[in-house]
Amino acid sequence: MTDATDPTFSPDPEVGTDAGSSPGPAASPDPDDNRRQVLYWRLLARLFDPEEQAALESASLAVVEDIGLPSALLDPGASVDSVVQRHPELADEFDGLMAPEPEPDGARDRAAEVRRAALASKLLLNVFATGTGTVSAGQLARWQSDAGWLERAHGCPPGGLRGGKASGAALDGGGLGPELGAIEADLVHRMHLREVLADPVLAARLTPSMSLIEQLLRDKGNLSGTALANAKALIRRYVDEVAQVLRTQVEKATAGELDRSVPPKRVFRNLDLDRTIWKNLTNWSPEEERLYVDRLYYRHTVRRTTPQRLIVVVDQSGSMVDSMVNCTILASIFAGLPKVDVHLIAYDTRAIDLTPWVHDPFDVLLRTNLGGGNDGPVAMAMARPKIAEPKNTVMVWISDFYEFSRSQPLFEGIEEVHRSGVRFIPVGSVTSSGRQEVNPWFRERFKALGTPVISGHIGKLVHELKTFLT
């Protein structure tokens, strides 16, 4: 375990020695280095053994009090929210805690490092020491809040590393996002979700996340009455939150380039005055001190429009839940743009045409049946008749492409669609974490076809569509 805020952390007590000096007694350890190490030894002990180590606890308490921080930082039962409520001045210190600005002269502020170590230890212990056994709605809500503080410490908004509500920026906290997602998924799995959903008070404490939505979608067939209503409300909240972020990205991405094949509209508001003056300077009359204009120049304002048809095919097998949710929302956003005819198909061993509900991702998700195997040729048979004008069609196919016995038929169908002029975009995953696995057989063939697989954050797909749509 290394210092989360300082890569020079070392458990060696003989710090401060000069390796280039002549042999002699070691220099005295820096007191701040010792304080910092005490805090991290305590963190390690707490993470790997729930039993309290009295000596480390008392030493850590002395350090925290000595540097003027509240002892509540050492209380495993206290959430970061509760600490900040009692000591609001600490909120700013948690923001960007694990992405500190370097000192201008390169010097180390060891006292500041100790303070960061105490705050970082609180965040890491609350997020990563989740214990075992059943989890309540309150415990999950507390963990989500603490995870949000950890994300803020990495310079991300709450939910930014776990995905779903993040912007297109490549903020991954050094690969921390997938780990947070895995912990959250485990907490949701350990919670008696059906009982929580049946209680409106407990259900109101849940914060929608990808892990929770996945569980709700898998279990929706077993819910009824109040539990089902609460589940739908959570799914709706999550869909609306993610859609708000993605809609902003899509609006920016699909503005389109200026279409110079269309003459500019000759109206006053489009008049390019600077260009008009520049182009007519040869007509300047010094005697009359007057500029004669032979030609007016106007700005182009017409932009290229998006293609007429966007076909999205999504693998809804168990390994693609995150992609299914994100791409369903993305399809609904594109469906709301002018002159875009969006078709949505989901498949496992069967294919279902979800186009009638594409404008409402909430309805689409309620009609999906997560899990099962893959049969891509079945989906291709449904998708191909939707291609009317290949040159004006883009087909996005989201899958891990593990087709087992039917790999060759699917690739042959894809190859034929691609050669017809359709812009084919294979996507290995469009997830919140970017974690994915794609069948190597397909990956190599797509690369040879000139259509390499896109994988990672959904922003990559938005960018790829922008390249084609504009």
| Position 317 in a domain | yes
Is 220 a residue whose pLDDT tops 80?
yes
Phi-psi bin for 173: left (phi > 0), alpha (psi -120 to 50), beta?
A: left
Q: In the chain, how many domains are there?
A: 2
Identify which of 151, 80, 86, 85 has the alpha carbon closest to the alpha carbon of residue 118.
80
Is 440 a residue whose pLDDT tops 50?
yes
Identify which of 140, 103, 131, 113 has the alpha carbon closest to the alpha carbon of residue 32.
113
Which residue type, as a one-letter code, is found at position 194? R
Instruction: Please state, in angstroms and rounded to a whole number, the distance separating the CA atoms of residues 455 and 437.
Output: 9
| Position 143 in a domain | no
Are residue 417 and residue 450 in the same domain, yes or no? Answer: yes
Q: C-alpha distances in angstroms, 41 versus 46, 167, 466?
A: 9, 36, 49
Are residue 313 and residue 402 in the same domain, yes or no? Answer: yes
Instruction: Please state, in angstroms and rounded to a whole number, the distance separating the CA atoms of residues 436 and 418.
Output: 24
For residue 413, give the CATH number of its domain: 3.40.50.410
Q: C-alpha distances in angstroms, 330 versus 316, 390, 422, 439, 462?
A: 15, 22, 20, 24, 9
Identify which of 365, 369, 372, 354 has the alpha carbon closest to the alpha carbon of residue 317.
372
Are residue 276 and residue 423 in the same domain, yes or no? Answer: no
User: What pLDDT was estimated at residue 316?
Assistant: 82
Identify which of 442, 389, 370, 391 has the alpha carbon closest to the alpha carbon of residue 413.
442
User: What pLDDT was estimated at residue 304?
Assistant: 56
Are residue 342 and residue 465 in the same domain, yes or no? Answer: yes
User: What pLDDT was estimated at residue 101?
Assistant: 75
| Position 168 in a domain | no
Are residue 419 and residue 333 in the same domain, yes or no? Answer: yes
Q: Which two structure tokens, joined as six digits, stand for 239?
A: 């869909």
- Which range of residues forms the domain containing residue 350? 309-469
Which residue type, as a one-letter code, is found at position 425? I
Q: Which two structure tokens, joined as six digits, stand for 349?
A: 């061993």
Is 184 a residue whose pLDDT tops 70?
yes
| Position 272 in a domain | yes
Residue finishing a domain among 302, 317, 338 = 302
Instruction: Please state, in angstroms and rounded to a whole number, the distance separating the CA atoms of residues 460 and 443.
Output: 17
Is 173 a residue whose pLDDT tops 70?
no
Q: C-alpha distances in angstroms, 112 versus 67, 97, 156, 365?
A: 10, 11, 22, 48
Highest average pLDDT, of 58-67, 158-167, 175-184, 391-400, comes from 58-67
Q: Which two structure tokens, joined as six digits, stand for 117?
A: 């170590």
Are residue 298 and residue 354 in the same domain, yes or no? Answer: no
Are residue 368 and residue 465 in the same domain, yes or no? Answer: yes
Match 């191909």 to its residue by tokens. 384
Are residue 459 and residue 331 in the same domain, yes or no? Answer: yes
Other Cβ atoms within 10 Å of 398 Cβ, number: 25
In tens, the pLDDT along 364-395 reads 888 877 666 778 999 999 999 999 899 889 89
| Position 44 in a domain | no
| Position 246 in a domain | no
Residue finishing a domain among 270, 302, 334 = 302
E strand map for 132-175 = none
| Position 284 in a domain | yes
Are residue 330 and residue 287 in the same domain, yes or no? Answer: no
Instruction: Please state, in angstroms and rounded to a whole number, the distance separating the CA atoms of residues 95 and 157.
Output: 10
Of residues 166 and 302, the one with the higher pLDDT is 302
Residue finishing a domain among 277, 302, 327 = 302
The set of residues, in sequence order, having a beta carbon less than 8 Å from that of 119 and lying 6+ positions away, is 69, 73, 90, 93, 94, 97
Are residue 285 and residue 329 in the same domain, yes or no? Answer: no
In which element (H, E) is residue 464 found? helix 458-469
Is 16 a residue whose pLDDT tops 70?
no
Are residue 335 and residue 463 in the same domain, yes or no? Answer: yes
Instruction: Please state, in angstroms and rounded to a whole number, the distance separating the CA atoms of residues 207 and 113.
Output: 33
User: What pLDDT was estimated at residue 8?
Assistant: 39
Are residue 387 and residue 349 in the same domain, yes or no? Answer: yes
| Position 140 in a domain | no
Average pLDDT over every residue of 275-291: 88
